[in-house]
Structure 1
């Protein structure tokens, strides 16, 4: 299982989040850096099984900006029947 940690002490905004996601999963070429691209990556571009841990999200100065991306990842958890997992610590 590929395990990725994104630390929100080092994530300024949603653009930074998408850049880290693409880097951690070695997504080559143009990554759309939007919710549709995130869904496409989770459901067809990255190797599964995979787990993403979001650390220090609640300490971020504006965690609400990541809410839609988290919702997409939660939906992917369900759609992928356990092959993708999201943890928020």
Structure 2
């Protein structure tokens, strides 16, 4: 089961998040580094069940708000297959 951890104090842009996400989750080289690609990988490509742990959520920048919303929606949509932990 993949266990991905992201420190949002250090990942202050979407580009930085996508890069870390691709490295940790084993995305293919064709990963699009955007919200659509993130959704597609979470809901149809990534090995599940998985845990995504977001550390220091209170420190996140506004640029990451759409990513966090997408992760929350994916976790709800996948009915327990994607566990989202926000510290």
TM over 0.5: yes
Partner SS for 2:40:
helix
Cα drift, residue 54 of structure 1: 0.8
Q: What is aligned with 1:32?
A: 32
Partner SS for 2:63:
helix
Unmatched 5+ stretches in structure 2:
none
Q: Where does 1:1-89 land on structure 2 (aligned, <5 Å)?
A: 1-60=1-60, 63-89=61-87
Give the aligned length: 87
Partner SS for 1:77:
helix
1-structure distance, mates of 2:20, 2:48: 18
- Root-mean-square deviation (Å): 1.2
Cα drift, residue 81 of structure 1: 0.7
